[in-house]
C-alpha cells in the first residue's frame, strides 16, 4: 500500500463513520459537555463520566471496589475526585494543557486502586471539554496509527515515548493524520481511526 491508497482508505472510513448512528451519540455528548463545562457539581460530573463510559468502553468497571456497591464504583469515586480537583483541572482543560490528560490518567483514585493508567477515559473526558486541544486515544486508534506509520512514518513515534511525553507525541501524530486526510478537527480524525480497526456497528 502506498500513501495515496492509505489516504483513500482513511477518507472512505471517515465517510462511512459519518453515516452511522454513532455520530448522533458523539454530537449529544459534545452538547452535554458544552452545556456543563465546569466540574463543581457531583451529579453533573457523575453524569458526564457515566455518559462517556456508556458511549465508549473506558474500562472504568475494572476500578470498582469489591463489595463497595454504588459508593465504591469507579464512576462515583472519579466524580468525587474530579469535583475535589476542579480548581486545578478545569483551567488546564480550558487552556488545552497536556497536563490535564496526565492528571486524569494517572492521579485519580481508580488508578491508585488497580495500578492502571486510564488513558482512554482521560483522553475522552478531556476531548469533550476541549475538542480542539485533546485527541481521543483508545486501542483501535492506536493500532490504526501504528499501521499508518508503516506506510507514512511519523516525525516522533509514540512507541518510543513514555509518561507525559507520550500524550504530547500522540497529539503531534494526530495532527499529522489530520493534515494527511484533510480533516477539520480531531473529532474527524478519531472517527476513521476507530472505524478502520473494526469500530463499525
Query: Quick one: residue 115, left, alpha or beta (phi over 0 = left, psi -120 to 50 = alpha)?
Result: left
Question: For 158, which DSSP code?
Answer: G
Q: Are 46 and 75 in contact (CB under 8 A)?
A: yes
Give 77-109 pLDDT, tens digit per residue. Answer: 899 999 999 999 999 999 999 899 988 988 888
Q: 66 pLDDT band (50/70/90 cuts)?
A: low
pTM, full prediction: 0.85
List the grid coordinates of 132: 480542539
Give 116-153 pLDDT, tens digit per residue. Answer: 668 888 999 999 999 999 999 888 888 888 888 888 88
Instruction: Give the least confident one: 48-57, 109-118, 124-133.
Output: 109-118
Q: Are 59 and 120 in contact (CB under 8 A)?
A: yes
Amino acid at each position: 500500500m502506498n500513501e495515496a491508497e492509505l489516504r483513500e482508505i482513511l477518507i472512505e472510513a471517515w465517510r462511512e463513520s459519518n453515516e452511522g448512528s454513532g455520530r448522533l451519540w458523539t454530537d449529544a455528548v459534545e452538547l452535554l459537555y458544552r452545556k456543563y463545562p465546569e466540574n463543581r457539581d457531583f451529579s453533573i460530573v457523575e453524569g458526564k463520566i457515566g455518559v462517556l463510559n456508556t458511549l465508549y468502553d473506558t474500562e472504568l468497571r475494572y476500578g470498582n471496589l469489591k463489595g463497595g456497591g454504588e459508593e465504591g464504583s469507579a464512576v462515583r469515586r472519579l466524580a468525587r475526585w474530579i469535583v475535589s480537583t476542579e480548581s486545578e483541572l478545569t483551567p488546564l482543560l480550558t487552556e488545552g494543557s497536556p497536563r490535564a490528560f496526565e492528571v486524569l490518567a494517572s492521579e485519580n483514585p481508580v488508578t491508585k486502586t488497580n495500578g492502571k493508567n486510564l488513558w482512554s477515559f482521560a483522553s475522552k473526558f478531556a476531548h469533550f471539554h476541549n475538542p480542539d486541544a485533546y485527541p481521543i486515544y483508545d486501542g483501535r486508534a492506536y493500532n490504526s496509527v501504528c499501521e499508518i506509520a508503516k506506510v507514512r512514518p511519523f516525525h516522533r513515534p509514540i512507541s518510543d515515548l513514555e509518561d507525559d511525553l507520550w500524550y504530547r507525541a500522540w497529539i503531534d501524530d494526530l495532527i499529522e493524520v489530520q493534515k494527511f486526510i484533510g480533516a477539520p478537527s480531531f473529532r474527524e480524525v478519531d472517527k476513521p481511526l476507530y472505524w478502520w480497526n473494526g469500530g463499525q456497528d
